[in-house]
Amino acid sequence: MLKIKSLVCAMCLVLPTASFAEEPINGQDFINLFEKLSGKQPGIRKGHAKGVCAVGTFTPNQAAKQYSISPLFNAPSKANIRFSMGGGNPHADETSRSPRGMGVQFVLENGDVHNIAGLTTPVFAGNSPEAFFGLLSTLVPDEKTGQIDFAKVKAYREQNPSTLGQFNWLQSHNPPASYVSSRYFGVHTFYMVDEKGAKHAFRWTMVPEEPEQVLTEEQMKTFPKSFLAKRLEQDLAKGKVHYRFQAELAEQGDVLTDPSVRWP
């Protein structure tokens, strides 16, 4: 069983500021684009299609109450966790330099639920839905050749620098050796509200208590494309896995509305 130990959690999400386009990008646009990228996969999620689930316990730290009146911090709660590979391919290569995800659903004593999701990258691949959509659009294979035009992808990144941060981070960091051997970043800014009504902006990170591990260059070449689910079973068979749910409070000058920018 996966046990999650924590300090603080989120109240409400601050979305990145979207540009005022004549036809703003919406959820259905992304679904249609995911199908172009990964094909139609009936019964499977469009994003983060490949994943595995676990259950655990969230134990709040009493110190969190000075920042938030959320009932999440009143008592331990059940946690439903899903680890996943980024993208819409249910057969994604798990040795690739791509984001991994962690989604957590906290089930409170009164039956209410609180959902959060994070990535193994400290920044997102764009400062707005439009920037991210544009980036994904360049990855759609050519109808005639069936190949991705990487010159087009590179040109888009250069013209839209907010899409470079995550890409550069992935190129300089090998992928995790296990779903539970990596940090997960909330990337967006959230707010906690205290008993006086004051708001505290923060970003969260799930930090494993065990040392973080990544695949070696040799393992990236020799490991099978699917190994993370099996490794999770092996990790949990050894005993409970512990994570600290940490909050980093915003300081003067920190960008609150751009998930493509990492705080100092």
254 contacts 16 by C-beta, under 8 angstroms: no
- Which SS3 state, helix, strand or coil, does residue 4 take? strand
Measured between alpha carbons, how far is residue 44 from residues 34, 90, 191, 263 in Å? 12, 8, 32, 34
Q: What is the distance between the alpha carbons of residues 222 and 219, in angstroms, rounded to a whole number?
A: 5
202 contacts 249 by C-beta, under 8 angstroms: yes
Residues serving a catalytic function are 48
81 contacts 100 by C-beta, under 8 angstroms: no
**What are the residues whose beta carbons fall under 8 Å from the beta carbon of 26, sequence distance 6 or more?**
none
User: Nearest to residue 63, comparing CAs of 73, 71, 72?
Assistant: 73
Measured between alpha carbons, how far is residue 10 from residues 77, 104, 166, 214, 243 in Å? 15, 12, 23, 28, 16
Exposed, middle or buried: residue 105 (CB in 10 Å: 0-12, 13-18, 19+)?
middle
Through-space distance between the first and last CA atoms of the chain, rounded to whole angstroms: 34
User: Nearest to residue 18, comparing CAs of 156, 133, 189?
Assistant: 133
The residues pairing with 203 across neighbouring beta strands, listed in sequence order, are 248
